[in-house]
Structure 1
Amino acid sequence: MKLHQVTVAAAAALVLSLTAAGCGSDGGGGTGGGTSGATGAATSGATGGATGGGKKITVGIKFDQPGIGLKTPDGKYTGFDVDVATYVAKQLGHNPEDIVWKEAKSADRETLLQRGDVDFIAASYSITPARSEKVDFAGPYLLAHQDVLIRADDDSIKTPADLNNKKLCSVTGSTSAQNVKTKIAPNAQLQEYGGYSECLTGLENKVIDALTTDDSILAGYAAQPQFKGKFKLGGFKMSNENYGIGVQKGSELKAQINTALEKMVQDGSWDAAVKKNFGPADYHNEPAPQIGVIVS
């Protein structure tokens, strides 16, 4: 793995933000455990800046990824990204009830930020050079890896090469399964379904042999009560995915969010959020990443 430091300018901005945070008032502690009941309300757009005082803040998350970002049938929001975003918002001066949650589908994330529809996005948002040309990223706050999910009683897949001649599933349009087929197991039989839930059903019914995407997403699904004990992660670490919090290009929120993320790690709330959301899947997560350092 290669580590890439942020630029000198970015580092200087972070130092300044830390100094300012030390001189200013504390927005409150908050933990990852108190976010599952946060609910949103309708809004016409983002607040344009996190000033606290009961003002609304609009945050983009996934609505359909258990363990990461999920809108439940009763209108609540759960997941690791939700916990991280709620903690960050608290440090910016916003209580959970001040947060307006907005769905941030993968294809829409840059547009939502560029139009100012959200203040920031925490939605399994991997930091890449192409995306960094359009938006800025705070973090990273989680290092994930491409992995596979297999049945708990399947001992035939012990290495990535064992995926050869296996039925490998991912969602339509995803690059994950194609990466495996072109780079690791060229004889894998690629199956593309409309959603991860369909892949899970196929995996449970032995129609497919493995499901591939980020290990954090796989762990979130495997941790759901209806799947308890049925699946396991391969632990293959086939890529590095540095999850960042997206903000508008040039936004001062980047430095403020970095400060909040550092505090979340230091006070134990980050570890608590990982255990809460991924623990049931026996997810062997990487330690909290160093802010501003990208692992390639």
Structure 2
Amino acid sequence: MSERNETLRLACIDSDAPPLFLLDDPVHGRRGYEPAVGELLAAELGRTLEWVYLPWNDMIPAVRRGDADGVLCGQGIIPSRLEQADFTRPYAVFHESVLVRRGDPISSPEDLRGRRVAAISGSTNMALLKTFEGAVPVEFGDSDDVFGDMLAALRSGEVDGVVDDDVVFVPLGRHPDFELAFTVRTGNRWGIAVSKSRPETLASLDRALGAVIGDGRLAAVWAEWLPDLEYPFAAGGVI
């Protein structure tokens, strides 16, 4: 059976992390860079888009159960995830940064020695954090708003830093409570996770992603939502 005109169900979290995504709005729907990517892919495939809202740690399991067709939500293509799911080519490439409380004199990994630092469990951010010698990793993930939880922990002093991809910290550049300590140019590739038992779904999403990269539609969405970050793709591939 052809998938055309069927619903494309993509798993994500329903939290506020602009410019990647904003909370689902009853009038405007889900907006941000990743929602815009999802809309491009659905249009290319001729399918209706539906977002499946789940806690962070349940997104890939949901795809493996068949509750969604794919995960389009901050999934770095890393070995631990490749053991659980297959991935499309990347739709984004980001670096990783450390956010601290404003005025805290942290400017390098060495300054985090003995400090409690938050990152999402099982993420590329946590993998990077574990390379910071002497830092104390604090895992987050069992929440519908894991990013908000980490910021709240940083604001309260429960942790002294948060490691995440540079894109999510863009709106916080002038925040009165936080400041960017430093960035590590890790070049993390983000893709759409698909069940290993559904190679046809992987192939169709990958072809659609290749099409919107190749004809410039993805570049236009990037320019709209991520104008302060360097666009990482040439026609058909990563620069």
TM-score by length of 2: 0.74
SS class of match (2:199)? coil
Query: Which residue of structure 1 aligns with residue 8 of structure 2?
Result: 57
Query: Which residue of structure 2 aligns with residue 99 of structure 1?
Result: 49
TM-aligned CA distance change 1:237 to 1:274, over 3 Å: farther
Asked if structure 1 preserves the Cα contact closer than 8 Å seen for 2:126 and 2:163, the reply is no
Asked if structure 1 preserves the Cα contact closer than 8 Å seen for 2:77 and 2:190, the reply is yes
Asked if structure 2 preserves the Cα contact closer than 8 Å seen for 1:203 and 1:211, the reply is yes
Asked if structure 1 preserves the Cα contact closer than 8 Å seen for 2:116 and 2:138, the reply is yes
Query: Which residue of structure 1 aligns with residue 76 of structure 2?
Result: 126
Q: Quick check: 1:109 aligned with 2:54?
A: no
Which amino acid is the alignment partner of residue 135 of structure 1?
Answer: A
1:139 pairs with one of 73, 89, 99 = 89
Query: Which residue of structure 1 aligns with residue 150 of structure 2?
Result: 199
Asked if structure 1 preserves the Cα contact closer than 8 Å seen for 2:85 and 2:194, the reply is yes
In the alignment, structure 2 segments of 5+ residues that lack a partner are none
Question: Which is greater in Rg?
Answer: 1
SS class of match (1:66)? coil
Query: Which residue of structure 2 aligns with residue 157 of structure 1?
Result: 106
Distance 2:201 2:139 in 1: 38
SS class of match (2:91)? strand
Asked if structure 2 preserves the Cα contact closer than 8 Å seen for 1:148 and 1:233, the reply is yes
SS class of match (2:100)? strand
Asked if structure 2 preserves the Cα contact closer than 8 Å seen for 1:144 and 1:242, the reply is yes
TM-score by length of 1: 0.62
Superposition map of 1:124-273 within 5 A:
124-151=74-101, 154=103, 156-170=105-119, 173=121, 179=127, 182-186=130-134, 188=135, 195-201=146-152, 203-204=154-155, 209-216=160-167, 218-219=168-169, 222-223=170-171, 227=172, 229-230=174-175, 231-237=178-184, 239-249=186-196, 250-273=198-221
Distance 1:164 1:134 in 2: 33
2:23 pairs with one of 71, 81, 99 = 71
- Measured after TM superposition, the shift of residue 213 of structure 1 is 2.3
Superposition map of 1:6-25 within 5 A:
none
In the alignment, structure 1 segments of 5+ residues that lack a partner are 1-47
Query: Which residue of structure 1 aligns with residue 233 of structure 2?
Result: 288
**Identity percentage of aligned residues:** 23
What is the total number of aligned residue pairs between the two structures? 230
TM-aligned CA distance change 1:272 to 1:154, over 3 Å: farther
